[in-house]
Amino acid sequence: MSRYLFDWYVHSVEVDRSTQVLEIEVAELESFHTARGRTDLEQIPVNPADPSLGTISVVPSRIGPRLYAKLSDLPDRGSWVPAQAFAVKARAFDERLLATAESLGREGLLLPPSDPEMKRLVDALMGKEPPPEGTSFIDGFVQRIRDGRLDTTPGTQAAVSDHQLHALAPLLVPEWTPEAERLVVGPEYRGGLESQFRGLSVQERETRLRKVEGLPAQGHMPRPLRVEPRLSIEPLAEHYRRCAETYRFLQRACEESLGADALSSVRRALPEGRKDDSLLDELVWMEQLFRGAHAIVREELGVESIPDAALPATFLTRQWLQTWKQDSDIQADIRRVMPLEFDKSRGLTRAMAVMGFLSAPLEARFRQVPQIRVFERGSDPLADVEPTILPAQFNTLCPVADEVYVRTVPDPATFRELCDTHCSREAILQALQV
């Protein structure tokens, strides 16, 4: 049984997660904290009739919400770690792993030919001509995965990219995952997950409740017993499991190409030098990070308790969750423009502009309330305690990326300066095409 305990005054409360069903939906499209750090705010008087009261900063209604360059810039809301934290960590690892492979003259072990069926589909979707304006080749992926025409399960000749696509597929069809009976995804949140799929697929391509001591004063009403959903990670369990399988596949591929002995001695290339841990140790660490995330989410959704075999991975993941914002990979600026191809008919370069992260607040609520039992310590459950059931607030993040036609592809520093000046997606795209 998946459950947790906490203290409420002199009582103990047991919540049985195996009886709950959660629903997650976007709570609001813009919240107050998104104004922090913007350079495009407008000043309006607190009271037009009394100028002495001063002004306040507001986000102009004509522009969109602010985009964040780094995950570490985000204000805290709720207690979970967003799925994008794992994605950014994985992308940074993969890029440096590729650099290490290139230095060894073994780039092919990471970039072998894709599964022929997958390659055929990609060629059919992209075609020889660029897609019509306003559309993207990735629209075809989304539609085919959702309607079942594309089975992303990697074949026997699959490459790493095929495993990566398979890991992203649950973001489009969360109702097909093993945890679906415990988690209902609202339509707005579903749209956010699709945005995560689009952004990530493009980039792949290149606290306990406080304990109250003592009894309440006589004649005073005790603080109500409040129970709300508890989630420490954005609950995308099947996505995390498939990411773990991708790193297991990558480890086997490296062993076959480099040899087990070499894999245990090679150090990954970093901007500041070589990593202390061996490439084998790092590949195992990345796999265990995602396996731990998978086990934690399944426990928190009430699917199952953490199996004994998953306890070491769970411990590793929880250690990282405590300080994830201090991770140097999380603090990296993701904004850049990636050229795709030169369009001769337009005389322009078709490129993908990655503009940062969009933060959207979510509300998790009980669609089916879990079984809750309150005990007088050392006695039978109390029957006359009625808990207050509340929703919980969290943040989800979506990488914001758009195809755009440009005369010249700006270098990362120039593009980041442009983003800092214009802030919102609409303003950035307009400035980029000037």
Question: Which range of residues forms the domain containing residue 135?
Answer: 3-29+65-206+224-432
What integer is the mean pLDDT of 260-274? 74
pLDDT, residue 11, reads: 82
Residue 53 counted as domain residue: no
Higher pLDDT, 59 or 94: 94
Max mean pLDDT range (2-6, 10-14, 191-195):
191-195
Residue 217 counted as domain residue: no
Single-letter amino acid code for the residue at 390: L
Q: Residue 171 corresponds to which tokens in the numbers above?
A: 């973001």
User: Alpha carbon of 66 to those of 172, 227, 312, 418: distances in Å?
Assistant: 25, 33, 39, 14
pLDDT, residue 215, reads: 35
pLDDT digits over 118-155, tens only? 454 455 444 445 555 555 667 777 888 999 888 999 98
Residue 51 counted as domain residue: no
Single-letter amino acid code for the residue at 65: P
**pLDDT tops 50 at residue 5:** yes
**pLDDT tops 90 at residue 299:** yes
Please, which pLDDT band fits residue 277 given cuts at 50, 70 and 90? Answer: confident
Residue 46 counted as domain residue: no
Residue 44 counted as domain residue: no
Q: How many domains are contained in the chain? A: 1
DSSP 3-state assignment of 425? Answer: helix
Residue 41 counted as domain residue: no
Single-letter amino acid code for the residue at 170: P
- Match 């990530």 to its residue by tokens: 200
Is 344 exposed, middle or buried, given 0-12, 13-18 or 19+ CB atoms closer than 10 A? Answer: exposed
pLDDT digits over 165-176, tens only? 899 999 999 999
Q: Residue 36 corresponds to which tokens in the numbers above?
A: 């922090």
Residue 378 counted as domain residue: yes
Parallel, antiparallel, or unpaired: how do β-strands 348-368 and 21-26 relate? antiparallel
pLDDT, residue 112, reads: 46
pLDDT digits over 199-217, tens only? 887 665 552 222 333 334 4
pLDDT, residue 371, reads: 93
**pLDDT tops 60 at residue 103:** yes
Distance CA 329, CA 99 (A): 16
Instruction: Give the E-state strand segments of 299-343 in sequence order.
Output: 336-343
Distance CA 188, CA 31 (A): 16
